[in-house]
Structure 1
Amino acid sequence: MEMGDAPRHSESQTRLLGGTEQNWCKAVAGGTGITALALQISKEPNIPLFKKALQKLQNDHPILNYMLHKNTSTGSTSFIMNPPIPHIRLNIMNQMKTSELLKTLTSRDSNATLSPLHTILEHEININEWTDIATRSSCMGGLHLWFANVYTLPDQKWVLVLRLHAGICDRTTAVSLLKELKEAMVEEGGGYKEKGNVGIEELIPVGKAKKTFWAHGKDMVAYSVNSLTLTNLKFKDVKSPRRSEVVRLKMSAEETHKLLAGCKLRGIKLCGALVAATLLAAYSSKRRPSNSNRKKYGVVFLNDCRPYLQPSLSTHEFGFYHSAISTSQEVKGEETLWYLATKVYMTFENSKNNSKHFSDMADLNFLMSKAIENPSLTPSSSLRSSLVSAFEDPITENSSDHERELGLDDYIGCASAHGIGPSIGLFDTVRDGQLDCACVYPAPLHSREQMQELIAKMKTILLESLKMEGKA
């Protein structure tokens, strides 16, 4: 049966996972897709109100009350509402326990200079509750899909963390969840009731995913052969167990305004500029760069499909409704940022206009699944699918009265990427007019020093391009 031609199912207490959700279960088990939202606040949290707010989210979004269950006899994986009433898994760590944890985490040399918020975020995206699903779910009846933790810092500060499975939480879900949580914490807003709660494949417009058998075969061969020609960032350690780490790329409000204006002038989005800067920085990281030495890099764009589904979904429909568009970009080393940014973005835009985000979904899911099952199919068994992944649109937010009432100082949101995935996952936010991009990478496959240098080079490339534009 073609995707998009599947029958629409009404909401039930149990449902099988769609193809994309099944793939995310495999990916999360391996370390990619553990999503965390970490908020640092300077006002003591009202724990009963926090619990009440979490409960309200579960009432509005039944998917948050689901558990992940794998039938060991049939191999099928399902979401099961169990128990049928909202349950909260909230862990509160006092200051002594938090301090002990931070002392342990910062004992690594590469972590010594990180802020407590940054350190706790990295800790959370490396807690994997979903490994070995078959064994654990058989004795538990299912696995919880999200968790809430509170860490107590010195100097009257706290860090609230929500950690979720990617199968129920794409980036849009994370943004809406945080918005609804802040509203519920000040007892305002609400009324967001889900009407979807089905896999993305069931909502693809009829015909958009159609592809002949030979077309499927041709495209999968093309993707496979093309992957063999891609250049990877230098691997530092391919044998040691992996974890996800984060480097933050920040720009001032003035710099961000100029960058966004440059994108608007050229009819492209911020993702094009960020990806182009990543490619140029990666190219320049070679020991002996040469203008005659062309390199091809893999780039994956993630776009929210909610507006294009049938029926369309609002941003408050929780679940995973993003799709990937895989592209490759050749870099000579002599390109300007804006030339490459426009080229990169238009490649993505043309693919999207040709419905590649729907028609290639099954192919990319299949290839991703095979890579997870057979890491040796990837360079050095690294499980790297591309150099960089980026979202089509940034998160754009401005400080609100809700945040001031909660005493919100800072927050970071991203997902792990040390299983199958890119060398750099870009999670960009424009907050109060300032770019704050969490760049996630697999360590020790790549070192923190290596990535800090790369991100610093990216920023230099962006700023130099803005200076040149100012002189033009």
Structure 2
Amino acid sequence: MIEIDKWRTYNLRRNHLKHNMNSSRPATTADPKSRTVGATEHSWCKAVPGGTGITVLAILLFKPPDLQHLQNALHKLQSSHPILNSKLHFNPAPESFSYITPATPQIQIQPFDLESTSKILQTLDSGTSVSPFHSILEHELNKNSWENPDPSSDTDLFFASVYTLQDETWVLALRLHTSACDRTSIAALRSELLRLMEGVESEFTGNGEVSLGIEEYIPSGQGNKPFWARGFDMLGYSLNSFRFSNLNFKDIVSPRGSRVIRLQFNGEETMRITSKCEDREIKLCGLLAAAGLSACHSLKEIPVNQWEKYAVTTLIDCRSILDPVLSGNHIGFYHSAILNSHDVNGGEDLWELAKQIYMSFMSAKNNKKHFTDMTDLNFLMCKAIENPGLTASGSLRTAVLSIFEDPIIDDSSKLDEAIGLKDSIGCGSIHGVGPSIAIFDTIRDGKLDCSFVYPSPLHSREQMREFVDEMKRIILEDGFGG
């Protein structure tokens, strides 16, 4: 049970924010509810127009969806989670963003018949090795409804489309603004939607208002940092960024989009991986980061014992450590990040490197850097957006890898027959500011399934396929002796 004083603090914060909200229109009782975005949400509002922060959930179905039933399910989701029913309002002077939330659900499914879907697929340069489902996922990652903010027109945060494929399968694609939906949210949204499609009513009911941003829930004192320490850390982050190595860039000039490469392990391989992580007292993120850095060093064909410094961003779902604690199905963006750098020479033992990376991350987390450095990293991300020349080759790359502290655990196979679920992928775009590779890992029915999102043609699909194959080899051969 949440203590009374926590709720009192929550209501004081909420009322203060509502009293001071920035709206360009005079308020009346008939107006939709609104609030200004928080600092982290503002960073995403700055990033999304450039192509980073478009969250997509693509679901492959072998049964045709009942569009009216699906429409009703999405409306129920919007009623339960008002952020999904909100629009983004842009105010250019001074630059700010607000969530505007109508009283009734707004989303309308956009259906594409077989002919329309075929025409879309023909326009995509996805390569012959990519399935139509995969192509649709990438197509959605690169549909940017927020590319040119217009102060005269509010933009939805949530879009839904249904595509018809030739092999009598259908793709349900949900596309969201990342400020309103982090990876935990997309997993909760997927689970809740599948239950609604099966006919099971949602157990979650909201209070009709958009929740506050993550900064308003940081436990008292945990986000504090002395002024001099903040300046010192900002300088350190800025100077170190010039020393970070990157995976070789292929094309730094052409327009960019996000592409996806998938890495999957079978049940036996996954069991061995997770068991050894437990034995070594590390999380899966440490192993994936170590294998990723080793693969980078290997692909660059650098002589062994030649050191390179790589940056890794680890994302933490903070819901369980906020005040008050938020549940896993609380939709919004409630992740924070820790940026660490690691020196790699190519001769490291995989598990020793994984331990080093994980302990470095845990040390920073134990020192609350995911809260104390939140403002610093948001500021630096915005500065990189405004000044691409501050990054290597003007690439907007802030790290070589981005990874999540914990994988998503998905045991939804029992719904396969009930609703026709065949496959699903949830991930976010990174072709604006961000890492060279963002890893979205899921353990689905006991099998590790990783989606690697990368900016193309800054990196090529062939290069990424080579990277993923090398990473898998390193884990299975170097990690387990073949």
Normalising by structure 1, what TM-score? 0.94
After TM superposition, the structure 1 = structure 2 runs for residues 391-402 of structure 1, keeping only pairs within 5 Å, are 391-402=404-415
Instruction: Report what 1:59 is aligned to.
Output: 79
After TM superposition, the structure 1 = structure 2 runs for residues 95-106 of structure 1, keeping only pairs within 5 Å, are 95-105=114-124
Contact 2:217 2:323 in 1 (8 A): yes
Contact 2:305 2:347 in 1 (8 A): no
Contact 1:194 1:318 in 2 (8 A): no
SS in 2 for 1:111: coil
Contact 2:350 2:478 in 1 (8 A): yes
Instruction: Report what 1:8 is aligned to.
Output: 13
Instruction: Report what 1:379 is aligned to.
Output: 392
2:435 to 419, 422, 432: 422
Contact 2:350 2:479 in 1 (8 A): no
Instruction: Report what 1:111 is aligned to.
Output: 127
Amino acid at match of 2:248: K
What CA deviation, in whole Å up to 9, does each residue of 1:186-205 have, x standing for no partner?
12141312367100000100
Distance 1:333 1:400 in 2: 39
1:212 aligns with 2:217: no
Instruction: Report what 1:163 is aligned to.
Output: 175
Instruction: Report what 2:136 is aligned to.
Output: 120
1:183 aligns with 2:195: yes
2:296 to 257, 263, 282: 282
Shift of 1:466: 4.1
What CA deviation, in whole Å up to 9, does each residue of 1:54-96 have, x standing for no partner?
0000110111111000123442211011x32111131000011
After TM superposition, the structure 1 = structure 2 runs for residues 65-144 of structure 1, keeping only pairs within 5 Å, are 65-81=85-101, 83-105=102-124, 108=125, 111-133=127-149, 136=150, 138-140=151-153, 142-144=154-156
1:462 aligns with 2:478: no
Distance 1:102 1:248 in 2: 19
Amino acid at match of 1:316: N
Shift of 1:401: 3.1
Distance 1:177 1:211 in 2: 35
Distance 2:299 2:414 in 1: 44
After TM superposition, the structure 1 = structure 2 runs for residues 221-300 of structure 1, keeping only pairs within 5 Å, are 221-287=235-301, 289-300=302-313
1:411 aligns with 2:424: yes
Shift of 1:6: 11
Contact 1:5 1:206 in 2 (8 A): no
Contact 1:304 1:322 in 2 (8 A): yes
Distance 1:265 1:379 in 2: 38
2:340 to 295, 313, 327: 327
Distance 1:400 1:462 in 2: 27
Contact 1:194 1:317 in 2 (8 A): no
Distance 2:251 2:476 in 1: 31
Distance 1:72 1:387 in 2: 33
Pick which of 147-156 and 66-75 moved more. 66-75
After TM superposition, the structure 1 = structure 2 runs for residues 139-158 of structure 1, keeping only pairs within 5 Å, are 139-140=152-153, 142-158=154-170
Instruction: Report what 2:354 is aligned to.
Output: 341
Contact 1:111 1:119 in 2 (8 A): no
Unaligned stretches of 5+ in structure 2? 1-8, 19-32
1:23 aligns with 2:23: no
Unaligned stretches of 5+ in structure 1? none
Contact 2:351 2:479 in 1 (8 A): no
Shift of 1:332: 1.4
SS in 2 for 1:8: helix
Distance 1:122 1:448 in 2: 12
Amino acid at match of 1:305: C
Give 4+ residue runs of structure 1 displaced > 6 Å after superposition. Answer: none
Contact 2:314 2:403 in 1 (8 A): yes
Contact 1:60 1:191 in 2 (8 A): no
Instruction: Report what 2:212 is aligned to.
Output: 198
Instruction: Report what 2:323 is aligned to.
Output: 310
Shift of 1:241: 0.6
Normalising by structure 2, what TM-score? 0.92
